[in-house]
Each structure stands twice: as C-alpha cells, then as structure tokens.
C-alpha cells in the first residue's frame, strides 16, 4: 500500500480509503470489524464514515473496531445531514457542529477526529460561521484537520479564502463523486484542488457498481445499489450510451491486464495526478479483496490514456477558449 500526502498538510494517508457507509446495515457488525482489521493489516490507514450512516451505527462499529488500534488510523467523519427531529438537528450552525462532534466522538469512542468534514453545502448557515466553529474544534483538540464534501468550486474557494484571510484552519480535502463515468469535477473542482493543494477523496469510484461489470445494457438490474434507484447511484443516471462505451473500454483493458473491471477503474484513479485516495466500500469479503487488488500494479500509459480519452468531458467554454492562450 502506498501513502499520499493529504492536501496542504503533513498527514500521510493510504492510497485507498475504506468507506463504511454499509457497515451496520448491508454488512453486519462482526464482518465490518473484520474488514477494518484486514484493511489495517494490509497497510491501509484511512477510514471514512459519517454521523448519518445507518443512524450513527457505522460510527459506533468503526469505534469498536479501532479501539485498540487508534494510533494506526486516520479517522474521517462528516456532519450536516439531519440526525433528529429537532429544528437544529441538521446543518452547520455553531450549535449543530458543536453538538455533532461530541456525538460522533462518543460513538467513535475516541477523544479526537483526524478529519472532520462538512458533508454538503448548507444554504442557511453562512460558511463563515461554520469555518469559525471548525477552527475552534481544531484549537480545542477535538479535530485535527477539516475538509468538505459535495461542494461547488466557488463554495470551496470562498471557504478557503475566508480561512486564509483570518488565519483559521483550512480545508485540506474534498470528497466529490468522481469516477470514469462521473468526471464533472474536471471542469473546475480538480483544477482548483491542484492550484490550492487540496486533497481529493472520490466517493463512488466504481460508479455505484456500474464499473464492476455486473450490469448489462438493456437489462434493468434486479439487485444491488443500482436496482434501488436512489440518488446519484440510480440506473437512470448510469445506463447512458456514453457510460456503456466507457465500460467497453474498461472490459478491453481488463482482458489485456488479467484484472477485473473494478480493479481497472480503481487503478485508473490511483494513477490520476489530482487524486489522493479513492473511497471504496464493500458488502462482502469477495468485493473487499477484489478492491484491494487494485493496488500494487499500474496500467500502462497506453491503457490509462485509452480510458481517459473515452471518459473525458466534451470540449466546453470557457476551457477551450482559455486553452488558446495557455503558455
């Protein structure tokens, strides 16, 4: 397992991050703990969860798993989503952030969180209030670094600028949806992250399972995440002509390499300059082992470029206009 620097910090994280959204739901407690221990034993050190995952059960299981191995782990969690029926049980008010971190710390069984992340932009709370509250948590020692997830480029830049101007803790990372079939972040977010030295931690790096090769064109899935039609990982959003063309290229490279389609899709991300650590999940030990098998080798430059070419966004304004004047 290789390690990468996380954004503008001295923190090193494993090239894969184990996501725990399924722990306590699709994966029972005993198997969840076993997966975490296997991940740590193989050199992984980066775990991601959120207060809203399985109503806090994911955090509780993660805390139980790392109880005797806390110093080995870079532990990330998130705040923002609704966690109760009260009017202040969601969002980024100082009240919610302070309550949220204490609740997460109790469930995780630890006295500090390595990476505390804003889960989704909050249109109600000024970002200045949220950043000030996060900075207080860093100064108090409850949080060591801060990050965000699912922000637009201008939203993250506004937060970074405010932190820099007022000498406050700044985001060192962002979690966006990003994969061979979801490259919208190429437009503005990835160039911004490269410019500002912000780590990129893609979620859904396999397109909700689409890039594993389990699904066929013209056949609506009857099981798995894509069969449930929820959010971004719905069949309607995945079953596009372009996506099937990308999948065909993944199959071709998989045949050449003797790897699975999922391993090819993950390895493409591992070799992409702007990417720090893709967040992978698993609902079985078979999936877990397959995903870990994406490390320790590399696509050839020709294979990587083939995948990049078939999946890249169309030329758009203003990028194509600005490229004429690039030096």
Could you please state the CATH topology (level 3) that the domain comprising 3-175 is classified under: TIM Barrel (3.20.20)
The pLDDT, as a whole number, for residue 223 is 62
3 carries an active-site annotation:
no
pLDDT tens digits for range 25-71: 999 999 999 999 999 999 999 999 999 999 999 999 999 999 999 99
Helix axes 57-65, 29-41, angle to 10 degrees: 50
All residues at 6 or more sequence positions from 179 whose CB lies less than 8 Å from its CB, including other chains: 202, 204, 205, 206, 207, 211, 265, 269
Confidence of residue 229 (pLDDT cuts 50, 70, 90): low
How far apart CA 199 and CA 193 sit, in angstroms, is 7
pTM value > 0.75 = yes
The total of other beta-carbon atoms located within 10 Å of residue 301's CB is: 9
Confidence of residue 94 (pLDDT cuts 50, 70, 90): very high
The total of other beta-carbon atoms located within 10 Å of residue 263's CB is: 25
Sheet architecture: strand order including 199-200: 199-200, 171-175, 143-149, 113-118, 74-79, 46-48, 17-19, 279-280
Q: Tell me the Cα Rg of the chain.
A: 19
The pLDDT, as a whole number, for residue 154 is 97
DSSP readout, 181-215? TB-GGGTTHHHHHHHHT-EE--BSTTGGGGGGT--
Confidence of residue 221 (pLDDT cuts 50, 70, 90): low
How far apart CA 105 and CA 232 sit, in angstroms, is 29
Burial of 139 (0-12, 13-18, 19+ CB in 10 A): exposed
pLDDT higher than 80, residue 157: yes
pLDDT higher than 60, residue 93: yes
Question: Element (H or E) spanning 14, and its range?
Answer: strand 12-14
Average pLDDT of the chain is: 94
CB 303 within 8 A of CB 256: yes
**Catalytic choice (53, 92, 116, 215):** 53
Question: Is beta strand 74-79 parallel, antiparallel or unpaired with respect to 143-149?
Answer: unpaired
For the record, the structure tokens of 51 come out as 């207060």
The pLDDT, as a whole number, for residue 269 is 98
The pLDDT, as a whole number, for residue 238 is 83
pLDDT tens digits for range 237-275: 888 899 999 999 999 999 999 999 999 999 999 999 999
């Amino acid at each position: 397992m290789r390690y990468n620097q996380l954004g503008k910090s001295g923190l090193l994280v494993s090239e894969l991050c184990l996501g725990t959204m399924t722990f306590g739901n699709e994966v029972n407690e005993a198997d969840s703990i076993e997966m975490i221990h296997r991940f740590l034993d193989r050199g992984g050190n980066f775990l991601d969860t959120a207060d809203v995952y399985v109503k806090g059960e994911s955090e509780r299981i993660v805390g139980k798993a790392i109880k005797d191995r806390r110093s080995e782990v870079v532990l990330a969690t998130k705040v923002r989503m609704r966690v109760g029926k009260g009017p202040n049980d969601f969002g980024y008010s100082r009240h919610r952030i302070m309550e949220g971190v204490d609740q997460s710390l109790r469930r995780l069984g630890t006295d500090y969180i390595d990476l505390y992340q804003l889960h989704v932009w909050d249109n109600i709370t000024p970002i200045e209030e949220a950043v000030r509250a996060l900075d207080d948590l860093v100064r108090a020692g409850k949080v060591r670094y801060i990050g965000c997830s699912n922000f637009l480029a201008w939203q993250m830049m506004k937060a970074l600028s405010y932190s820099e101007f007022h000498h406050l803790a700044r985001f060192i990372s962002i979690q966006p949806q990003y994969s061979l079939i979801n490259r919208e972040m190429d437009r503005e977010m990835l160039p911004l992250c490269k410019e500002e030295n912000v780590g990129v931690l893609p979620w859904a790096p396999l397109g909700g399972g689409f890039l594993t090769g389990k699904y066929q064109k013209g056949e609506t899935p009857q099981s798995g995440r894509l069969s449930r039609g929820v959010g971004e990982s719905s069949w309607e959003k995945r079953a596009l002509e372009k996506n099937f063309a990308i999948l065909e290229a993944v199959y071709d490279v998989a045949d050449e390499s003797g790897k699975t389609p999922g391993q090819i899709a993950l390895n493409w991300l591992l070799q992409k300059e702007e990417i720090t650590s893709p967040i992978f999940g698993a609902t079985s030990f078979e999936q877990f082992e397959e995903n870990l098998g994406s490390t320790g080798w590399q696509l050839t430059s020709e294979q990587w470029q083939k995948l990049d070419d078939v999946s890249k966004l169309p030329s758009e304004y203003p990028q194509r206009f600005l490229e004429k004047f690039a030096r």
